[in-house]
């Protein structure tokens, strides 16, 4: 998801399906150049996951 940092706040560029006060984990990638590195880091972090990685990342929420 793309966002803009303004006045100390990350503002998503599209609507997000979150409740007020819901906590999330954010991986910051500046532009598209760092996307491959972010994917490598996430792959290492979740390498031991035995279930669907998407369910692990989203907490099973769809």
Is-contact 42 56, C-beta < 8 A? no
Residue 60: its pLDDT value, please?
A: 55
pLDDT at 33: 61
pLDDT of residue 56: 66
* Digit-coded pLDDT (tens) for 1-57: 788 999 999 999 899 999 999 998 887 777 666 677 777 877 887 787 777 767 766
Domain boundaries in the chain? 24-62
Residue 23, SS3 per DSSP: coil
pTM for this model (two decimals)? 0.46
Contact 46, 56 (CB under 8 A): yes
What b/e readout covers 29-52, taking b as 16+ CB neighbours within 10 angstroms? Answer: eeeeeeeeeeeeeeeeeeeeeeee
| DSSP three-state, residue 16 | coil
In this prediction, residue 18 carries a pLDDT of: 92
**Per-residue pLDDT at 7:** 95
């Amino acid at each position: 998801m793309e966002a803009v940092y303004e006045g100390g706040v990350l503002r998503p560029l599209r609507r997000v399906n979150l409740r007020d006060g819901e906590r999330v984990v954010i991986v910051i990638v500046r532009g598209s150049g760092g996307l491959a590195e972010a994917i490598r880091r996430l792959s290492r972090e979740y390498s031991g996951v035995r279930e669907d990685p998407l369910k692990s990342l989203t907490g099973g929420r769809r």
